[in-house]
Structure 1
Amino acid sequence: MRDLQSKSISELLALHAAIMEELRERNVLRSANNPTGDLAEYLFCTSFGWVQESNSAKSFDAKGDDGTRFQIKGRRIHRRNGSRQLSAIRDLDGFDILAAVLFDDDYQVMRAALIPVSVVREKSTYIEHTNSYKFLLRDAIWNAGGVEDVTACLRQVERAANNR
Protein backbone atom coordinates (compact mmCIF):
# COMPACT_ATOMS: atom_id res chain seq x y z
CA MET A 1 0.00 0.00 0.00
CA ARG A 2 2.89 2.37 0.62
CA ASP A 3 3.75 2.10 -3.05
CA LEU A 4 0.56 4.07 -3.74
CA GLN A 5 2.33 7.24 -2.57
CA SER A 6 4.72 6.97 -5.49
CA LYS A 7 1.90 6.72 -8.04
CA SER A 8 0.65 9.67 -10.05
CA ILE A 9 -2.98 10.74 -9.87
CA SER A 10 -3.58 9.20 -13.30
CA GLU A 11 -2.01 5.93 -12.22
CA LEU A 12 -4.13 5.83 -9.04
CA LEU A 13 -7.34 6.50 -10.98
CA ALA A 14 -6.44 3.84 -13.55
CA LEU A 15 -5.83 1.37 -10.73
CA HIS A 16 -9.20 2.29 -9.21
CA ALA A 17 -10.91 1.74 -12.57
CA ALA A 18 -9.19 -1.63 -13.02
CA ILE A 19 -10.21 -2.73 -9.53
CA MET A 20 -13.83 -1.72 -10.14
CA GLU A 21 -13.85 -3.63 -13.44
CA GLU A 22 -12.40 -6.74 -11.79
CA LEU A 23 -15.07 -6.59 -9.06
CA ARG A 24 -17.73 -6.40 -11.80
CA GLU A 25 -16.15 -9.43 -13.51
CA ARG A 26 -16.41 -11.31 -10.20
CA ASN A 27 -20.11 -10.34 -9.98
CA VAL A 28 -19.58 -8.38 -6.77
CA LEU A 29 -20.49 -5.04 -8.38
CA ARG A 30 -23.27 -4.38 -10.87
CA SER A 31 -22.72 -0.71 -11.64
CA ALA A 32 -19.96 1.84 -12.08
CA ASN A 33 -21.11 3.75 -9.00
CA ASN A 34 -19.60 3.88 -5.53
CA PRO A 35 -19.18 0.18 -4.61
CA THR A 36 -20.83 0.38 -1.17
CA GLY A 37 -24.38 -0.30 -2.33
CA ASP A 38 -23.43 -3.02 -4.80
CA LEU A 39 -21.26 -4.73 -2.18
CA ALA A 40 -24.15 -4.66 0.30
CA GLU A 41 -26.47 -6.23 -2.31
CA TYR A 42 -23.92 -8.90 -3.16
CA LEU A 43 -23.36 -9.88 0.48
CA PHE A 44 -27.05 -10.02 1.40
CA CYS A 45 -28.18 -11.83 -1.77
CA THR A 46 -25.35 -14.35 -1.50
CA SER A 47 -25.98 -14.88 2.23
CA PHE A 48 -29.71 -15.50 1.90
CA GLY A 49 -30.21 -16.65 -1.69
CA TRP A 50 -32.34 -13.65 -2.61
CA VAL A 51 -32.89 -12.80 -6.27
CA GLN A 52 -31.63 -9.34 -7.21
CA GLU A 53 -34.00 -7.11 -9.12
CA SER A 54 -32.81 -5.14 -12.13
CA ASN A 55 -30.92 -1.92 -11.40
CA SER A 56 -33.97 0.06 -12.48
CA ALA A 57 -36.38 -1.59 -10.01
CA LYS A 58 -38.17 0.94 -7.83
CA SER A 59 -38.40 0.62 -4.06
CA PHE A 60 -36.73 -2.75 -3.53
CA ASP A 61 -33.49 -4.46 -4.54
CA ALA A 62 -34.18 -8.17 -4.08
CA LYS A 63 -36.87 -10.76 -3.39
CA GLY A 64 -36.83 -13.81 -1.18
CA ASP A 65 -38.29 -17.18 -2.13
CA ASP A 66 -41.46 -16.31 -0.21
CA GLY A 67 -41.95 -13.02 -2.10
CA THR A 68 -40.56 -10.80 0.66
CA ARG A 69 -39.22 -7.57 -0.85
CA PHE A 70 -35.89 -6.31 0.48
CA GLN A 71 -34.51 -2.79 0.25
CA ILE A 72 -30.73 -3.14 0.67
CA LYS A 73 -28.55 -0.31 1.98
CA GLY A 74 -24.94 -0.07 2.97
CA ARG A 75 -22.95 2.67 4.66
CA ARG A 76 -19.17 2.90 4.86
CA ILE A 77 -18.03 4.46 8.12
CA HIS A 78 -15.03 6.45 6.95
CA ARG A 79 -12.35 7.88 9.21
CA ARG A 80 -13.29 11.31 7.86
CA ASN A 81 -17.06 10.78 8.09
CA GLY A 82 -18.63 8.64 10.78
CA SER A 83 -22.22 9.29 9.74
CA ARG A 84 -24.57 6.32 9.83
CA GLN A 85 -27.15 7.91 7.56
CA LEU A 86 -28.15 5.51 4.81
CA SER A 87 -28.86 6.73 1.30
CA ALA A 88 -32.32 8.16 0.69
CA ILE A 89 -35.29 5.86 1.00
CA ARG A 90 -37.87 6.97 -1.54
CA ASP A 91 -40.85 4.73 -0.77
CA LEU A 92 -41.61 3.14 2.61
CA ASP A 93 -44.42 1.10 1.05
CA GLY A 94 -42.29 -0.55 -1.63
CA PHE A 95 -40.45 -3.07 0.55
CA ASP A 96 -41.04 -5.35 3.53
CA ILE A 97 -37.58 -5.52 5.11
CA LEU A 98 -34.63 -3.14 5.11
CA ALA A 99 -31.40 -5.13 4.87
CA ALA A 100 -28.69 -2.77 6.12
CA VAL A 101 -24.97 -3.13 6.70
CA LEU A 102 -22.29 -0.87 8.12
CA PHE A 103 -18.80 -1.24 6.65
CA ASP A 104 -15.59 0.01 8.18
CA ASP A 105 -13.08 2.18 6.36
CA ASP A 106 -11.71 -0.87 4.49
CA TYR A 107 -15.16 -2.19 3.44
CA GLN A 108 -15.18 -4.91 6.09
CA VAL A 109 -18.57 -5.75 7.63
CA MET A 110 -18.99 -4.08 11.02
CA ARG A 111 -22.68 -4.82 11.67
CA ALA A 112 -25.65 -5.93 9.62
CA ALA A 113 -29.36 -6.26 10.30
CA LEU A 114 -32.72 -7.15 8.80
CA ILE A 115 -35.12 -4.42 9.87
CA PRO A 116 -38.90 -4.65 9.49
CA VAL A 117 -40.43 -1.76 7.54
CA SER A 118 -42.50 -0.88 10.64
CA VAL A 119 -39.26 -0.02 12.48
CA VAL A 120 -37.99 1.93 9.47
CA ARG A 121 -41.24 3.96 9.41
CA GLU A 122 -40.98 4.69 13.14
CA LYS A 123 -37.31 5.72 13.05
CA SER A 124 -37.20 7.61 9.72
CA THR A 125 -37.54 11.32 9.12
CA TYR A 126 -39.25 12.66 6.01
CA ILE A 127 -37.17 15.22 4.12
CA GLU A 128 -39.44 17.37 1.99
CA HIS A 129 -36.87 18.93 -0.35
CA THR A 130 -35.64 15.47 -1.46
CA ASN A 131 -39.04 13.77 -1.19
CA SER A 132 -37.40 10.92 0.68
CA TYR A 133 -36.87 9.46 4.11
CA LYS A 134 -33.69 9.69 6.16
CA PHE A 135 -32.74 6.68 8.27
CA LEU A 136 -29.75 6.47 10.59
CA LEU A 137 -28.44 3.01 11.37
CA ARG A 138 -27.66 3.66 15.03
CA ASP A 139 -26.66 0.87 17.42
CA ALA A 140 -30.07 1.13 19.13
CA ILE A 141 -31.74 -0.22 15.96
CA TRP A 142 -30.44 -3.70 16.77
CA ASN A 143 -32.54 -3.60 19.97
CA ALA A 144 -35.80 -2.68 18.21
CA GLY A 145 -38.55 -5.28 17.99
CA GLY A 146 -38.28 -7.67 15.08
CA VAL A 147 -34.77 -6.65 14.07
CA GLU A 148 -32.48 -9.57 13.29
CA ASP A 149 -28.70 -9.25 13.64
CA VAL A 150 -27.19 -10.93 10.57
CA THR A 151 -23.62 -9.72 11.00
CA ALA A 152 -22.22 -13.25 11.26
CA CYS A 153 -23.98 -14.33 8.03
CA LEU A 154 -22.51 -11.47 6.01
CA ARG A 155 -19.05 -11.94 7.52
CA GLN A 156 -19.12 -15.61 6.50
CA VAL A 157 -19.84 -14.68 2.87
CA GLU A 158 -17.23 -11.92 3.07
CA ARG A 159 -14.60 -14.43 4.26
CA ALA A 160 -15.51 -16.92 1.53
CA ALA A 161 -15.35 -14.24 -1.16
CA ASN A 162 -11.95 -13.09 0.10
CA ASN A 163 -10.59 -16.66 -0.09
CA ARG A 164 -11.36 -17.23 -3.77
Structure 2
Amino acid sequence: MTAKSMMHEKPVDLNLTTFTQCAPETVQAQPVVELVLALGSNYQADKYLPLARQRLAALGEVRLSTAFQNPDFTATTQLPKPDYTNQCVHLTLTTPMSLQQLQQTFKTLEGDCNRCRQTEPNQVRQVTMDIDILMIKLATIENSLSKYSIFKSISDWIVMADRYPFKTHEEAGVRELAVSTD
Protein backbone atom coordinates (compact mmCIF):
# COMPACT_ATOMS: atom_id res chain seq x y z
CA MET A 1 0.00 0.00 0.00
CA THR A 2 1.63 3.29 -0.94
CA ALA A 3 1.59 6.32 1.32
CA LYS A 4 -0.86 8.09 -0.97
CA SER A 5 -3.27 5.16 -1.00
CA MET A 6 -2.75 4.55 2.70
CA MET A 7 -3.60 8.12 3.48
CA HIS A 8 -6.69 8.12 1.24
CA GLU A 9 -8.31 4.71 1.53
CA LYS A 10 -11.24 4.18 3.86
CA PRO A 11 -11.38 2.07 5.94
CA VAL A 12 -7.69 1.67 6.67
CA ASP A 13 -6.40 -1.87 7.04
CA LEU A 14 -3.75 -1.81 9.76
CA ASN A 15 -3.25 -5.56 9.63
CA LEU A 16 0.47 -6.36 9.82
CA THR A 17 0.26 -8.50 6.68
CA THR A 18 -0.55 -5.43 4.56
CA PHE A 19 2.62 -3.58 5.57
CA THR A 20 6.29 -4.30 5.23
CA GLN A 21 7.80 -4.68 8.68
CA CYS A 22 11.47 -4.39 9.49
CA ALA A 23 13.82 -3.71 12.35
CA PRO A 24 15.00 -0.09 12.43
CA GLU A 25 18.64 -1.22 12.16
CA THR A 26 18.02 -2.56 8.65
CA VAL A 27 17.08 0.86 7.24
CA GLN A 28 19.29 3.16 9.36
CA ALA A 29 21.02 4.82 6.40
CA GLN A 30 18.03 4.94 4.04
CA PRO A 31 16.51 8.34 3.14
CA VAL A 32 13.12 8.81 4.78
CA VAL A 33 10.56 11.20 3.23
CA GLU A 34 7.52 10.61 5.46
CA LEU A 35 6.95 9.12 8.87
CA VAL A 36 4.32 8.56 11.50
CA LEU A 37 5.36 9.30 15.06
CA ALA A 38 3.84 8.64 18.46
CA LEU A 39 4.29 11.45 20.97
CA GLY A 40 3.72 10.90 24.66
CA SER A 41 3.99 12.93 27.85
CA ASN A 42 2.92 12.25 31.42
CA TYR A 43 4.34 15.46 32.86
CA GLN A 44 3.38 18.98 31.74
CA ALA A 45 2.00 17.71 28.45
CA ASP A 46 0.27 21.06 27.88
CA LYS A 47 3.75 22.63 27.72
CA TYR A 48 5.82 19.95 26.00
CA LEU A 49 3.45 18.63 23.31
CA PRO A 50 3.10 22.07 21.66
CA LEU A 51 6.88 22.54 21.82
CA ALA A 52 7.48 19.16 20.17
CA ARG A 53 4.87 19.86 17.47
CA GLN A 54 6.48 23.25 16.77
CA ARG A 55 9.94 21.68 16.40
CA LEU A 56 8.57 18.91 14.18
CA ALA A 57 6.88 21.51 11.95
CA ALA A 58 10.34 22.99 11.32
CA LEU A 59 11.22 19.68 9.60
CA GLY A 60 8.27 19.64 7.21
CA GLU A 61 4.50 19.40 6.94
CA VAL A 62 2.81 18.12 10.10
CA ARG A 63 -0.63 16.58 10.48
CA LEU A 64 -1.91 15.63 13.92
CA SER A 65 -4.30 13.10 15.36
CA THR A 66 -6.45 13.87 18.35
CA ALA A 67 -4.51 13.92 21.61
CA PHE A 68 -5.62 10.99 23.78
CA GLN A 69 -5.33 10.77 27.57
CA ASN A 70 -4.37 7.26 28.63
CA PRO A 71 -3.50 5.59 31.91
CA ASP A 72 0.09 4.36 32.23
CA PHE A 73 -0.20 0.62 31.57
CA THR A 74 2.71 -0.04 33.97
CA ALA A 75 0.88 1.56 36.92
CA THR A 76 -0.15 -0.64 39.83
CA THR A 77 -2.17 -0.01 42.98
CA GLN A 78 1.13 -0.07 44.90
CA LEU A 79 2.77 2.33 42.43
CA PRO A 80 0.18 4.60 40.80
CA LYS A 81 1.47 6.68 37.89
CA PRO A 82 0.19 9.76 36.08
CA ASP A 83 -1.79 9.43 32.87
CA TYR A 84 -0.10 9.99 29.52
CA THR A 85 -1.23 12.36 26.82
CA ASN A 86 -0.53 10.66 23.48
CA GLN A 87 -0.77 11.95 19.94
CA CYS A 88 0.23 10.63 16.53
CA VAL A 89 1.94 12.85 13.97
CA HIS A 90 2.24 12.37 10.22
CA LEU A 91 5.36 14.26 9.12
CA THR A 92 6.27 14.86 5.48
CA LEU A 93 9.88 15.98 5.54
CA THR A 94 10.98 19.02 3.55
CA THR A 95 14.35 17.32 3.03
CA PRO A 96 14.82 13.54 3.25
CA MET A 97 16.82 12.40 6.27
CA SER A 98 18.23 9.01 7.20
CA LEU A 99 16.42 7.10 9.91
CA GLN A 100 19.56 7.39 12.01
CA GLN A 101 19.53 11.21 11.64
CA LEU A 102 15.84 11.30 12.54
CA GLN A 103 16.36 9.15 15.64
CA GLN A 104 19.13 11.50 16.80
CA THR A 105 16.99 14.57 16.01
CA PHE A 106 14.11 13.17 18.09
CA LYS A 107 16.42 12.22 20.98
CA THR A 108 17.73 15.81 20.94
CA LEU A 109 14.16 17.14 20.86
CA GLU A 110 13.27 14.96 23.86
CA GLY A 111 16.27 16.49 25.66
CA ASP A 112 15.14 19.99 24.68
CA CYS A 113 11.88 19.11 26.42
CA ASN A 114 13.86 18.31 29.59
CA ARG A 115 13.45 14.54 29.21
CA CYS A 116 15.20 12.80 32.09
CA ARG A 117 15.88 9.12 31.45
CA GLN A 118 17.37 8.33 34.88
CA THR A 119 15.03 7.49 37.73
CA GLU A 120 15.46 5.87 41.10
CA PRO A 121 13.86 2.44 41.67
CA ASN A 122 10.19 2.73 42.67
CA GLN A 123 10.17 6.40 41.72
CA VAL A 124 7.39 7.60 39.43
CA ARG A 125 8.95 8.43 36.10
CA GLN A 126 8.05 11.85 34.79
CA VAL A 127 8.22 11.77 31.00
CA THR A 128 8.10 15.27 29.55
CA MET A 129 8.36 14.00 25.96
CA ASP A 130 8.70 10.60 24.35
CA ILE A 131 8.91 10.35 20.56
CA ASP A 132 8.63 6.96 18.90
CA ILE A 133 8.82 6.25 15.17
CA LEU A 134 5.92 3.97 14.21
CA MET A 135 6.14 3.94 10.41
CA ILE A 136 8.36 5.35 7.70
CA LYS A 137 8.20 5.86 3.97
CA LEU A 138 11.53 5.70 2.20
CA ALA A 139 12.51 7.83 -0.78
CA THR A 140 12.08 5.96 -4.05
CA ILE A 141 15.60 4.99 -4.97
CA GLU A 142 17.35 2.24 -6.84
CA ASN A 143 20.43 0.93 -5.11
CA SER A 144 22.21 -2.24 -4.14
CA LEU A 145 19.64 -2.86 -1.38
CA SER A 146 16.71 -2.93 -3.84
CA LYS A 147 17.25 -6.64 -4.48
CA TYR A 148 16.46 -7.54 -0.86
CA SER A 149 12.91 -8.52 -0.04
CA ILE A 150 12.33 -5.70 2.45
CA PHE A 151 13.14 -3.19 -0.30
CA LYS A 152 11.18 -4.88 -3.10
CA SER A 153 8.54 -2.17 -2.90
CA ILE A 154 10.49 0.71 -1.49
CA SER A 155 7.65 3.23 -1.84
CA ASP A 156 5.52 1.32 0.68
CA TRP A 157 5.10 2.27 4.29
CA ILE A 158 7.37 0.31 6.58
CA VAL A 159 6.23 -0.47 10.10
CA MET A 160 8.98 -0.44 12.70
CA ALA A 161 9.04 -4.00 14.01
CA ASP A 162 9.95 -2.85 17.51
CA ARG A 163 6.72 -0.81 17.67
CA TYR A 164 4.26 -3.38 16.31
CA PRO A 165 1.67 -4.35 17.31
CA PHE A 166 0.65 -0.77 17.93
CA LYS A 167 -0.77 0.23 21.28
CA THR A 168 -4.49 1.01 21.15
CA HIS A 169 -3.97 4.80 21.16
CA GLU A 170 -1.29 4.51 18.44
CA GLU A 171 -3.56 2.48 16.20
CA ALA A 172 -6.40 4.96 16.79
CA GLY A 173 -4.09 7.86 15.94
CA VAL A 174 -2.78 6.21 12.76
CA ARG A 175 -6.34 5.39 11.66
CA GLU A 176 -7.43 8.98 12.29
CA LEU A 177 -4.51 10.36 10.28
CA ALA A 178 -5.18 7.92 7.46
CA VAL A 179 -8.82 8.92 7.02
CA SER A 180 -8.41 12.64 7.70
CA THR A 181 -6.64 13.40 4.41
CA ASP A 182 -8.59 13.82 1.23
TM-score (structure 1 length as normaliser)? 0.31
Name which structure has the greater RCO, CA cutoff 8 Å, separation 6+. 2
Give me the TM-score of the superposition, normalised by structure 2.
0.29
Please state which structure has a larger fraction of its residues in strand.
Answer: 2
